[in-house]
């Protein structure tokens, strides 16, 4: 607990209400309370006014519901300091306001009053973002772009590569279904989930989202003369390790991440289901960073206003011979985490020091610090957003007519994952969902057709197909026949129908193939089998048409299939031609490779045969050379004898 001390303070208070600015003399301020942290602040201020005619504009504006901006600057008046510290500066928005009056006589039959104003205010993110609950879907967008679109009047800077990465989709789910979760909670949840930093610079009234804590700045020396008391705070150590479990069936993995202070058998498990090794490794790296131990912290209470900056983010260094040599944190750079300040005017009457710029106050001031080397971020409590949300979508497959039953499966070139495309008409955005059998066993292949109504699950960065919402045109059979039907093909002029129903209470089974004017029918009924092949010359198959115009109209479902949400399409004919061309190219490449392999083998055999022949010739030549050398030696010896 901090001990109160007396200090002369210069307080500058400015209110902006409805475009009007009001400056309140510091002597009129009777109470200030501040809780300032690394991520924002909450504060309250109260003051008296008199002279009703001069007060009337403030009195009128204060009662209106206009946004109230508050700027409060607080400095100690200390002539002994050659270089006084920067003022404690707060710039925020009012969250609550109160007004009361006290009479002090009458003038010409009218009562005269003092008015007592109280404002509770906080940084803009807490005031605005806590009331902001958007539901939104965006595609091919970075989170930095999303934050900029929702920042209102906030000033935000970024130093985080992750925020700049384009994401295939991002979904904000903060509406009435989860009324207690706000955009402020969402930002804190995202930062915490990715082990980032969210901090607020009160001097610049600016927020920072970063990958790590800022490390720049020079630590100011803090001596013990103005310190009243100090306590060491020991954060509780982590007693668990972590295991990252990947539940994909083809290659399941369990990766333990140890932690030196963990108790045996105690673990926080993280469950994934991804076939991508890179995603699993990235999550392992993230979870390992969470297991760092928080370092010791200091709680410092002052008995006199400090001579150095003590707002959050400022760097201090406990140094000097007056500190005990065994003091925890001595000669180590400390970063200020929190500041708590409360000031009560010694003269609290409504008529006291009405026009004075400074006044005497009873002040309580304390700070909390951490080692500047501690990398762990500090965040306030928050509520996690609730995912998924459910919206209706239309299966997206470009090409053909709107009523055609076409399907599209896209394979990602980098990951080899396959997906369907779903257009969400509410936001006119197209998202990818995993191309899976959905509710069928794997030996059934029934991909979703174009423009089919479906229910889509939207998570923060991914979507899934939940279920189908209607039948395609022509699939339902008449009620009186109690029939079942499977309808395959593009449309009613090019399809095959498998139908089983009841006629005169007898089961009838039919296969009906249609291709323009060419039809085949197989019908099995009670005691008979009917087969018919028929061709109508006037009913030739129509020339297929393809829609290649740029479309963003979700009702037509013709958004680009290769890039979610991008405008422009490729016709089905072009896709077919490209598919055939790729198949031929692949086949040609395979044949060329096979021919090349055969040629290489044949050439290799001939080269080996030639090498063998050359080696034999060389061997015979060597033998002949040896014999020739021997004969030469003999001839030479004979010549020597003749001499």
Q: What is the pLDDT of residues 96-126, one digit of tens each?
A: 999 998 776 555 555 667 889 999 999 999 9
Q: Which two tokens stand for residue 568?
A: 């422009």
Q: What is the mean pLDDT of residues 505-524?
A: 93
How much is the pTM?
Answer: 0.79
The confidence score (pLDDT) of residue 630 equals: 62
Burial of residue 565, with CB atoms counted within 10 A of its CB: 0-12 exposed, 13-18 middle, 19 or more buried: buried
Give residue 401's pLDDT band: very low, low, confident or very high (50, 70, 90).
confident
pLDDT in tens, 377-392: 999 999 999 999 999 9
- 388 cis-preceded (ω within 30 degrees of 0): yes
Contact 10, 77 (CB under 8 A): yes
pLDDT at residue 568 is higher than 60: no
Cα–Cα distance for residue pair 44/95, rounded to 1 Å = 10
Give residue 217's pLDDT band: very low, low, confident or very high (50, 70, 90).
confident
Q: Are strands 20-24 and 5-17 parallel, antiparallel or unpaired?
A: antiparallel
Long-range interactions of 259-265: CB distance < 8 A, separation 24+: 259/291, 261/237, 261/293, 262/238, 263/239
pLDDT at residue 360 is higher than 50: yes
Give residue 576's pLDDT band: very low, low, confident or very high (50, 70, 90).
very low
pLDDT in tens, 149-190: 999 999 999 999 999 999 999 999 998 776 789 999 999 999
Q: What is the mean pLDDT of residues 503-519?
A: 93
Q: What is the mean pLDDT of residues 407-430?
A: 94
The confidence score (pLDDT) of residue 44 equals: 97
User: pLDDT > 90: what percent of the chain?
Assistant: 63
Q: Which residues, other chains included, contact 486 with Cβ-Cβ below 8 Å and sequence gap of 6+?
A: 497, 498
The confidence score (pLDDT) of residue 439 equals: 86
Q: Which of 269 and 599 is assigned the larger pLDDT?
A: 269
Using CA atoms of 611, 612, 618, 619 in order, give the dihedral in degrees to the nearest 10. 160
pLDDT at residue 347 is higher than 80: yes
DSSP letter, residue 508? E
**CB 83: neighbour CB atoms within 10 A?**
6
Q: Which residues, other chains included, contact 383 with Cβ-Cβ below 8 Å and sequence gap of 6+?
A: 180, 181, 185, 189
pLDDT at residue 211 is higher than 80: yes
Give residue 587's pLDDT band: very low, low, confident or very high (50, 70, 90).
low
The confidence score (pLDDT) of residue 569 equals: 37
pLDDT at residue 599 is higher than 60: no
The confidence score (pLDDT) of residue 327 equals: 86
The confidence score (pLDDT) of residue 461 equals: 96
Q: Which two tokens stand for residue 2?
A: 């901090």
**CB 53: neighbour CB atoms within 10 A?**
6
CA angle 219, 222, 228 (to 5 degrees): 145
Question: What is the 3 state secondary structure string of 408-464?
Answer: CCEECCCCCCEEEEEEECCCCEEEEEECCCCCCCCCCCCCCCCCCEEEEEECCCCEE
**What is the residue-averaged pLDDT of the chain?**
85
Give residue 82's pLDDT band: very low, low, confident or very high (50, 70, 90).
confident
Q: How far is CA 93 from CA 44, 55, 70, 119, 623, in A?
A: 11, 21, 6, 9, 106
The confidence score (pLDDT) of residue 570 equals: 37
Q: How far is CA 376 from CA 9, 143, 272, in A?
A: 35, 22, 25
Residue with tokens 């003092």: 114
The confidence score (pLDDT) of residue 551 equals: 36
The confidence score (pLDDT) of residue 549 equals: 36
H or E element in which residue 503 lies = strand 494-503
């Amino acid at each position: 607990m901090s001990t109160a001390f007396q200090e002369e303070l210069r307080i500058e208070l400015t209110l902006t209400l409805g475009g009007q600015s009001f400056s309140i003399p510091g002597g009129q301020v009777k109470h200030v309370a501040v809780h300032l942290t690394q991520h924002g602040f909450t504060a309250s201020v109260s003051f008296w006014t008199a002279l009703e005619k001069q007060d009337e504009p403030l009195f009128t504006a204060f009662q209106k519901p206009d946004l109230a901006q508050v700027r409060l600057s607080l400095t100690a008046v200390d002539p002994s300091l050659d270089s006084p510290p920067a003022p404690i500066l707060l710039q925020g928005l009012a969250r609550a306001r109160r007004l009361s009056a006290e009479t002090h006589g009458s003038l010409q039959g009218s009562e005269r009053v003092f008015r007592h104003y109280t404002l509770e205010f906080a940084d803009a993110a807490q005031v605005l973002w806590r009331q902001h609950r958007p539901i939104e879907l965006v595609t091919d967008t970075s989170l930095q772009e999303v934050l900029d679109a929702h920042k209102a009047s906030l000033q935000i800077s970024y130093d985080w590569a992750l925020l700049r990465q384009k994401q295939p989709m991002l979904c904000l789910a903060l509406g009435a279904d989860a009324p207690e979760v706000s955009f402020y909670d969402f930002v804190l949840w995202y930062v915490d989930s990715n082990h980032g930093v969210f901090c607020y610079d009160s001097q610049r009234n600016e927020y920072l989202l970063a990958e790590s804590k800022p490390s720049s700045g020079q630590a100011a020396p803090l001596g013990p003369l103005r310190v009243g008391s100090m306590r060491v705070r020991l954060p509780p150590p982590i007693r668990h390790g972590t295991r990252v479990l990947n539940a994909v069936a083809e290659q399941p993995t369990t990766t333990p991440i140890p932690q030196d202070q963990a108790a045996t058998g105690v673990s926080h498990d993280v469950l994934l289901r991804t076939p991508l090794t890179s995603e699993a490794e990235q999550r392992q790296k993230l979870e390992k960073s969470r297991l760092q131990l928080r370092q010791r912290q200091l709680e410092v209470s002052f008995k006199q206003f400090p001579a150095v900056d003590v707002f959050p983010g400022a760097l201090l260094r406990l140094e000097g011979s007056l500190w005990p040599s065994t003091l925890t944190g001595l000669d180590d750079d400390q970063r200020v985490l929190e500041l708590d300040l409360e000031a009560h005017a010694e003269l609290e009457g409504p008529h006291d020091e009405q026009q004075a710029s400074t006044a005497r106050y009873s002040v309580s001031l304390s700070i909390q610090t951490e080692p500047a080397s501690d990398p762990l971020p500090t965040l306030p409590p928050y509520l996690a957003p609730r995912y998924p949300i459910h919206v209706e979508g239309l299966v997206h497959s470009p090409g053909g007519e709107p009523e055609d039953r076409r399907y599209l499966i896209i394979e990602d070139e980098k990951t080899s994952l396959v997906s369907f495309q779903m257009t969400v008409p509410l936001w006119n955005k197209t998202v990818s969902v995993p191309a899976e059998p959905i509710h069928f066993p794997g030996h059934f292949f029934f991909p979703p057709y174009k423009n089919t109504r479906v229910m889509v699950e939207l998570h923060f960065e991914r979507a899934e197909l939940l279920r189908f919402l209607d039948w395609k045109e022509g699939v339902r059979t008449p009620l009186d026949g109690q029939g079942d039907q499977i309808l395959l093909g593009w449309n009613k002029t090019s399809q095959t129908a498998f139908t089983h129903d009841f006629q005169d209470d007898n089961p009838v089974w039919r296969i009906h193939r249609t291709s323009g004017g060419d039809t085949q029918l197989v019908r099995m009924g009670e005691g008979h089998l009917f087969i018919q092949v028929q061709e109508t010359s006037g009913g030739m198959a129509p020339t297929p048409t393809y829609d290649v115009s740029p479309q963003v109209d979700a009702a037509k479902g013709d958004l680009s299939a290769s890039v979610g949400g991008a405008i422009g399409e490729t016709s089905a004919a072009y896709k077919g031609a490209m598919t055939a061309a790729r198949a031929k190219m692949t086949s040609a490449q395979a044949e060329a490779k096979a021919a090349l392999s055969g040629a290489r083998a044949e050439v290799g055999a001939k080269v080996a045969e030639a090498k063998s022949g050359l080696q034999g010739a060389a061997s015979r030549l060597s033998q002949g050379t040896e014999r020739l050398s021997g004969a030469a030696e003999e001839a030479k010896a004979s010549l020597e004898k003749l001499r």
